[in-house]
Amino acid sequence: MSDISKKSLTEIVKLIKKKEIKSEELTKSYIKNINSDKKLNSFITTCSEEALRKAKDFDKKPIFDTLLPGIPIAVKDLFCTRDVRTTAGSKMLENFVPNYESTITNNLWNEGAFLLGKLNCDEYAMGSSNETSYFGNVMNPIAENTVPGGSSGGSASALAAGLTPTTIGTDTGGSIRQPASFTGTVGLKPTYGLCSRWGIVAFASSLDQAGPMTKTVSDCALMLQAMVSFDKKDSTSINKKKENYSTSLTNNIKGLKIGIPKEYRVDGMSKEIDKLWENGKKILKDSGAEIIDISLPNTKYALPTYYIVAPAEASSNLARYDGVKYGFRSNKGNDLIEMYENTRSEGFGDEVKRRILIGTYVLSSGYYDAYYIKAQKVRQMIKNDFDQAFKNVDAILTPSTPSSAFKIGEKKNDPISMYLNDIFTVPINLAGIPAISIPAGSDINNYPLGMQLICKPLDEQKLLNIAYAAEKKINFKQSLNRWWEK
């Protein structure tokens, strides 16, 4: 691995601006790293030639007053990219080439970045281990045969292994924060509505939110700044003044109140996670914050609520895949209905089908009130818990995940144990609030563990500041033996 790909995005941007490195040299070093991706399988599509051409174009006529000048970036394959195939990790979209660009990727390109490739993910972002992807498992650079988390597993793996300087993911129930936690990287899920959903393959529209995945908190602030915009094309996009997250970043968090929710101490949580949490408290206290015990009484109902709301929205969103206008079509079936049934049976993987069936059932006549309306009521109660808590605290500290990265295959045959991975991240999506996972330590196997900070809606700056202060004190270092290059 070249030295340049060990650097943070913030450092690389500085080098480019100081003309100490050219975009072409930078891009070449990432392409070289991507050539060793075979065992990691973090990329679905590479755009090396086109990226090199863009890098050379940049060097010929550099524009330095952007946030991401001449930076190559690989993105989760859930973001539609014009003329570059976008699969969502599914056979259904194996050959889908959008003729439009998602707002988020477009914002990155407007800030001077260009596309390096498309990253593997769970099929339609449904999964917590990247094992549901039609394009195969992704491995975690921390150890062979270990999952990188999901659904943004390819993004986390490529970032941690130095195959892209930064990346973006989407988070419906933890799909940015859990893989960040599993790979020793930083991942932020913004307030619902802050980042446009236009051009992102939809999973559950009231929960989906794009966000940055980066090596450091400074990088995260920079990327978020580049991503945020008001977008007329997304009816849930928030219209507000653009903030300068990156230059406003400070580690001064004196006097901030940090809540510790007792309900997040779940049964069977390992001592290591508990220790990590205690350490997090101590670090924030040492930085001048005040630690306060709080209660989020309906926490235990978040996951059951999620497994009604998310599949319901997914069953509706995925109804569009009928084999007519785009995507896969089965050649079996004697009429239109049979064509639909075969197309959806062959084109979707098992987990996606499972969730469509759950969603169809909870929305079906006679069951709608008992399941869907009930879940929306409990969702309101969960949101009220957070609203109440934020009357007394500035932020909430919890672990990001109940365990570190697990082995491939370990949880694949037990959906509930897989779903439990997201126990600490799901409530945040249900409440539409922002949260970040930062690396906070390691377990006995030296696998990274993350801690999660949560703030009230649109408090991203405060969230980043607290994370920044904690990051400085934790001083997490990860050394990878780069087994996949051998």
User: Which residues make up the interface to other proteins (CB under 8 A)?
Assistant: 95-97, 99, 192-193, 206, 232, 235-236, 238, 298, 300-301, 303-305, 307-308, 315, 319, 322-329, 333-342, 344-345, 348, 350, 353-354, 356-358, 360-361, 364, 371, 373-381, 383, 415-416, 419, 431-432
Round to whole Å and give the CA distance between 486 and 482.
Answer: 7
Q: Is-contact 419 303, C-beta < 8 A? A: yes
Active site residues: 76, 151, 175
DSSP 403: S
Closest to other proteins by CB, 79 vs 307, is: 307
Q: How far is the CB of 389 from other proteins (least distance, A)?
A: 17
Can you tell me the distance from the alpha carbon of 281 to that of 289, in angstroms, rounded to the nearest whole number? Answer: 9
Give 275's strand partners: none
Nearer to other proteins, 337 or 444 (CB): 337
The kind and range of the H/E element at 17 are: helix 9-17
What b/e sequence results for 291-305 when a residue is b if at least 16 CB atoms lie within 10 Å of its CB, and e otherwise? eeebebebbebbbeb
Task: Compare residues 260 and 356 and give the one whose CB is closer to other proteins.
Answer: 356
Q: CB 201 → other proteins: shortest distance, Å?
A: 13
- What are the CA-CA distances from residue 25 to residues 4, 9, 115 (Å)? 9, 15, 16
Name the residue nearer to other proteins (CB basis): 166 or 317: 317
Closest to other proteins by CB, 176 vs 314, is 314
Smallest separation (angstroms) from other proteins to the CB of 103: 15
Burial of 227 (0-12, 13-18, 19+ CB in 10 A): buried
Closest distance to other proteins from the beta carbon of 121 (Å): 20
Residue 132 contacts residue 89 (beta carbons within 8 Å) = yes
If we measure between CA atoms, which residue out of 379, 399, 401, 393 comes closest to residue 455?
A: 393
With respect to other proteins, which residue has the nearer C-beta, 144 or 322?
Answer: 322
Report the chain's C-alpha Rg in angstroms.
Answer: 21
In 3-state terms, what secondary structure has residue 189?
strand
E-strand spans in 313-421? 395-399
Q: How far is the CB of 100 from other proteins (least distance, A)?
A: 9
Measure Cα distances from 68 to 25, 63, 202, 225 in Å.
Answer: 16, 10, 27, 10
- Residue 164 phi, psi (nearest 5): -155, 140
Query: What's the min distance (Å) between Cβ of 300 and other proteins?
Result: 7
